[in-house]
Amino acid sequence: MSYSQGAGDLADLVQKLHEPWSRRAARQKLVAARAVETLLECLDSTNESVVWAAIQSLGELRASEAVGPLVDLLERKVLILDVAEALSMITGEEFGADVERWKKWIAAPVDISPAPADHQECMRRTGELLGAEPSGSGDSFRFELSLPGGRSQKVAVYFGRDDGKGEKLIVIYSECGPASPKHYEAVLRKNISIPAGAFAIRDVDGVATLVIVDTVIAATATAGMLAKKIDNIAARADMVEKGLTNEDKR
CA distance 151 to 145: 9
Q: Quick one: pLDDT at residue 4?
A: 45
**Alpha helix (H) ranges present in 92-118?**
99-107
The whole-chain average pLDDT of the chain stands at: 84
pTM: 0.58
- Which of 69-73, 155-159, 161-165 has the lowest average pLDDT? 161-165
Q: Who contacts 194 (Cβ-Cβ below 8 Å, separation ≥6)?
A: 212, 236
Looking at per-residue confidence, does 242 or 42 come out higher?
A: 42
Tens of pLDDT, residue by residue over 8-52, are 689 999 999 999 898 988 998 998 898 999 999 999 999 999 999
Task: Please give the torsion angle defined by the CA atoms of residues 236, 239, 240 and 241, in that order, rounded to the nearest 10 degrees.
Answer: 120
Q: What does the longest C-alpha to C-alpha distance in the chain come to?
A: 66
CB 119 within 8 A of CB 159: yes
Beta bridge partners, 157, equal 141, 172
CA distance 217 to 114: 12
CB 15 within 8 A of CB 30: no
Q: Which ranges in the chain are annotated with CATH 3.30.1460.10?
A: 119-245
DSSP annotation string for 23-43? HHHHHHHHHHTT-HHHHHHHT
Tens of pLDDT, residue by residue over 83-113, are 998 998 888 788 889 999 899 888 876 666 6
Q: What kind of fold does domain 119-245 have according to CATH?
A: Yope Regulator; Chain: A, (3.30.1460)
CA distance 203 to 208: 5
CA distance 39 to 53: 8
Q: What kind of fold does domain 7-107 have according to CATH?
A: Leucine-rich Repeat Variant (1.25.10)
CB 212 within 8 A of CB 173: yes
127-132 mean pLDDT:
86
Q: Which ranges in the chain are annotated with CATH 1.25.10.10?
A: 7-107
Q: Quick one: pLDDT at residue 112?
A: 63
Q: Quick one: pLDDT at residue 3?
A: 41
